[in-house]
Each structure stands twice: as structure tokens, then as C-alpha cells.
Amino acid sequence: MLIVQKYGGTSVANTERIKAVAERVARTAKEGNKVAVVVSAMAGETDKLIGLARKLSSDPNEREMDMLLSSGERVTSALTAIAIEELGHKAMALTGRQMGIITDTVHTKAKIEKISADRAKKALDEGYVVVVAGFQGITEDGSDVTTLGRGGSDLSAVAIASALDADLCEIYTDVDGVYTTDPNIVPDARKLEKISYEEMLELASLGAKVLQTRSVEFAMKYGTPLIVRSSFNDNPGTLVTKEDKDMEKVVVSGVAYDKNQAKITVMGLPDKPGIAARLFKAIADAGIVVDMIVQNVSSDGKATDISFTVPKTDSKKAVKLTEEIAGELGASGVNLGEAIAKISIVGVGMRTHSGVAAQMFETLAKHGINIMMISTSEIKVSCIIDLKYTELAVRVLHDVFKSAEVK
Ligand code: ADP
Ligand code: ASP
Ligand code: MG
């Protein structure tokens, strides 16, 4: 078999952990498999590098940020290759460029356009384990290093698995698999044996960082068989796969939270056609992704309020733009709320069962948690609440829905 194994930051946090990774890789190779490894930077390293840059500039150049941040994965790929060789197995570290990962030119959140995997394939055929630096690529003309967005090594792994036509892509992390909610917040969260790509995609995009959203999107598109498991033990893990009949029996398969959103409210906007279009076009043109939007019905037919959420990292930029437009449109004010969290419940079973949203709202109400915004899709319900209630909300919702299996 050809197996891609991705090891996250905690799995390569120090030389002891890297040795353990090397042992698992060598074992997999000795069992007769070809192995391509993808590594993240050591835990905390990317944040540390960002912190250093911020000490020098409040708005560092993004090309230079990619030069900087890509160094973390380069270190772990070489160290891991050295550790594997020490165990008597041929290994070769490859940067994103050497792996042939071609991306667009959008620094710090580049998209993979193609992978020219010839060099890696040749090395695998010659009996090497290849150890690829995750999270990074190179622009088409080869002139600049790019990175794929936070958590992007998951995407590197899934894309490499697809380019190599791998039989399996294993994501090794610090928890045993995908749980019904973050096991570090809710100790009685349950590990899922399997989860559909669609549910995983919702959970990831709603904040469950165990898999990066784009990696799930990619795996779903190409049908890459994906397993999430721990690098700290040999427990079986969670299979991310196509939806099957059994999955519909569970109404809510996961609870997710996201503390990285900010809420912007524009008050007293004129209630007439074209206003929302004007505001959101300006925000989209600035490359800011808007998540939830709520527009109130105006009580007097003249003025209305619009609230929306954006990633916290873009909130200052979004407020500035919003204030400009609000001024032009004659709105009465703009305010920014950063102490918020988005709490979501996800499950394909919601397609066929009613009353799930009501039960969520009731549960939050019972614990005195006010809902500021609501959004729904076929398989999820999300609420914006006060940041300080995040953990409480996750716990009580998990409690209510954990046994919600419909017979
Ligand atoms: P890595 O460094 O290996 O990429 P991450 O820190 O990115 O690991 O992701 C693993 C973390 O995701 C876990 O430690 C856990 O706290 C968090 N997490 C959030 N939601 C979930 C969930 N539903 N199932 C498992 N882990 C989750
Ligand atoms: N090191 C990068 C990050 O911290 C990429 C990754 O770990 O997947 O975001
Ligand atoms: Mg991660």
C-alpha cells in the first residue's frame, strides 16, 4: 500500500516525539508499505514566528511572512528524515517546492493548483520514505514560497495523498480521532468510529480544528480515504468517509465552537434596495469572508439594522470599511463586538428530524445564555453567544444531544 501519514505540531513537538514518529513510520515501511510523511512545525513554532514578526511590524509584508512561517516545517521535515535514517531506513526530506506543490500567489492563504509529484514518486520507488514539509508551496513560476493558511499541513497531506494516488491518508494528532465535541472541553465527548465528509466539513468550518476545513473539502471532492488518529497510541481512530444510511440515525453528531469571529452591527441603515449589496460588496472586495448575516425588519419602514460576523483577524479592516459606507449611506452608527463565540450543532440526521433547533434554543435558554444571531443549513444550526458562555454552552448542548439517536 501507499500510505500518507501527517503528523501535527504536538506529534513533532520535540526530539522525543520525533523519534516516536520515526518509529511509527519505519514500522509502517517495514510492513511493506510505501510511506510519504507530511509534518507540521513543532507545536507553538508558527505562533512564535508570527509573534516575532509582530514585534517588528504591526502589518508585516505577507510574502515575507510566508518566507518566515515556512521555515518551521522545513526544520521538522529534515529532523524527521534524520530520525528515520537513524532507524536504518532510507528517508528524504522535501520542501513544498521539491514536492512540486504549485499554488496561486495569494500569500498566507494560497490555494494549491497542482502537484508535480514526479520526484517524490521516484524516491518512493527507490525505497525512500519521503518527508514533506507541510503547509507550504511555491508559485507557478517558482519565484515565491507560499503558505496554505493556518492548519494547512492537513491540506498538504490530503493533496499529496491524492497526487500520489495513495491508498490511505492518516492524520496523526494529539487526540484519538474526531469526537462528538472537543474532548479537551467536554471530558465525556465520544469518539466517532466514522463521520461523513459533509458533517466533518461543517464541524471543521464551524471551528473543530482537528481537521482544517479545506483539507476536508479536498478529501470530499477526490474521495480520499481519511483516518484521524493519535500519534501517542495505537487506538483505531475515526474514518472520514462517504455518508451511509446508519449516519442518519444520529440527529446531532457533533457540537463545535469558534472563538475567532467578531460581530459588526450597522444601525439605522435606510431600508431600501441595494443597501446590503453595497456594504457586502465592499467587504468582499477587501477579501474578507463574511459568515453570518442578520438583517432586522424595520419597525417604521425607514431604518433597519444589519449585523454580520467576520474572522477576528479581519475585524479592524471590516469595521473601517463599514464605517466608510455607513457614513455614505447615512446610517446612525457601527459597533464591533469581539467577545462572542459561535456554537454549532451538526448532523446529517437533521435533514429528516424536526425540532432540533428548538431544542438547542431551549437548552441555551435554560442556562441563561442569550442568543445574538442564528443561522441554519440543512445539517447544522449555529448561534452567536457571549464568549464567556462558550464552554458552558458546548457542555450543555453535548449533554442534551449525546444520546439523541433516533430508532
Ligand atoms: P495538530 O497540531 O495535530 O494539527 P490541532 O491542534 O490542529 O492538532 O487539532 C487537534 C485538536 O482539535 C485537539 O487537541 C482538540 O482540542 C481539538 N478539537 C476540537 N474539536 C474536536 C473534535 N470534535 N474532535 C477532536 N478534536 C477536536
Ligand atoms: N504550522 C502551521 C500552523 O500552525 C500549519 C499546521 O500546523 O498545519 O498553522
Ligand atoms: Mg491542525
Tens of pLDDT, residue by residue over 288-345, are 999 999 987 777 778 899 999 999 988 999 999 999 999 999 999 999 999 999 999 9
| Residue 264 Cα distances to 95, 267, 321, 323, 360, angstroms | 40, 10, 11, 10, 24
Q: For residue 154, name the pLDDT band (cuts at 50, 70, 90).
A: very high
Q: Pick the range with the lowest mean pLDDT from 73-87, 165-179, 240-254.
A: 240-254
266 Cβ contact partners less than 8 Å away, ≥ 6 residues apart: 279, 305, 306, 307, 322, 326, 331, 333, 334
Query: Radius of gyration over alpha carbons of the chain, in Å?
Result: 23
Q: What is the structure's pLDDT at 161? A: 98
Question: Average pLDDT over the chain, rounded to whole?
Answer: 94
272 Cβ contact partners less than 8 Å away, ≥ 6 residues apart: none
Mean pLDDT of 42-61: 96
Give the distance from CA 372 to its chain's centroid.
24
CB 3 within 8 A of CB 166: yes
CB 374 within 8 A of CB 382: yes
CB 261 within 8 A of CB 342: yes
CATH of 2-174, one of 3.40.50.1240, 3.40.50.300, 3.40.1160.10, 3.40.190.10: 3.40.1160.10
The rounded percent of the chain whose pLDDT value lies above 90 is 86
Mean pLDDT of 55-65: 94
User: Atom of ligand 2 at shortest distance to CA of 72?
Assistant: 1
Is 315 close to ligand 1, i.e. is its CB under 6 Å away? no
CB 204 within 8 A of CB 150: no
Mean pLDDT of 198-225: 94
Q: For residue 406, name the pLDDT band (cuts at 50, 70, 90).
A: very low
CB 142 within 8 A of CB 102: no
Q: For residue 403, name the pLDDT band (cuts at 50, 70, 90).
A: low
Mean pLDDT of 27-46: 97
Helix (H, G, I), strand (E, B) or coil at 301: coil
pLDDT above 60 (res 407): no
Q: What is the structure's pLDDT at 210? A: 96
Alpha-carbon span 37 to 131, nearest angstrom = 5
Domain parsing of the chain, residue ranges: 2-174
Q: What is the structure's pLDDT at 397? A: 96
| Protein residues with C-beta less than 5 angstroms from the ion ligand 3 | 8, 151
What is the H or E stretch that residue 86 is in?
helix 62-86
Alpha-carbon span 284 to 113, nearest angstrom = 22
Q: What is the structure's pLDDT at 141? A: 94
- Tell how far the Cα of 43 is from the centroid of ligand 3, in angstroms: 10
Angle subtended by helix axes 356-366 and 390-401, to nearest 10: 130
Alpha-carbon span 121 to 254, nearest angstrom = 38
- Tell how far the Cα of 323 is from the centroid of ligand 2, in angstroms: 34
Give the model confidence (pLDDT) of 344-391 as tens digits: 999 988 888 889 999 999 999 999 999 999 999 999 999 999 999 999
CB 113 within 8 A of CB 147: no
Q: Which residues of 37-63 are buried (b: 16+ CB within 10 A; e: fewer)?
A: bbbbbbbebbeebeeebeeeeeebeee
Ligand nearest to C-alpha 11:
1
Residue nearest to atom 27 of ligand 1 (CA): 182
- Ligand 1 mutation pick, 148, 175, 201, max ligand atoms within 8 A of CB: 175
Q: What is the structure's pLDDT at 196? A: 93
Is 341 close to ligand 2, i.e. is its CB under 6 Å away? no
pLDDT above 90 (res 287): no
Is 173 close to ligand 1, i.e. is its CB under 6 Å away? yes
3-state percent breakdown (helix, strand, coil) of the chain, nearest 5: 40, 25, 35
CB 357 within 8 A of CB 376: yes
Mean pLDDT of 101-122: 96
